[in-house]
Amino acid sequence: MDIATIISLALNVITSVLPLVTGAQNSTTITAISNLIQQLINLLPTIEQWSVTEYNVAKNIIASLENSGNLTADQIQATTDLKAQIDAQWSANLNQFDPDAPGGDPANASAAPASPPVSTATTST
């Protein structure tokens, strides 16, 4: 199994358990949310192998957690930091898709957008 498949599977598993942590806040949901955030953090070293889809899935997971209303102050800070890290690492990784950038690969020129894609997550009001 290649790393792209593993990343995709990990993000799908995280997405599948999101409904379980959007209920009432209690020690179980707090722990589960912390674990989900940590799993996303654990995937950061692989971001250079993420596709636009995986980028959007990760951002949507974070948005879902933030919109759940169940985050502690520490978790809110962790998701804010995680979003910034994902965007910074994604942006830094875009050079590989720019054929004019040092180390850029012309074969990948159409494989990624010129900037971080817009998340499809919606904010509830």
Token match 């494989």: residue?
Answer: 111
Length of the chain: 125
Q: Which of 68, 4, 5, 2 is nearest to 37 (CA)?
A: 68
Digitized pLDDT (tens) for each residue of the chain, 125 residues in all: 788 888 889 999 999 988 888 766 788 888 989 999 999 999 988 887 787 888 889 999 999 999 888 899 999 999 999 999 999 888 887 766 666 666 555 555 444 444 444 444 444 43
Whole-structure pTM value: 0.73
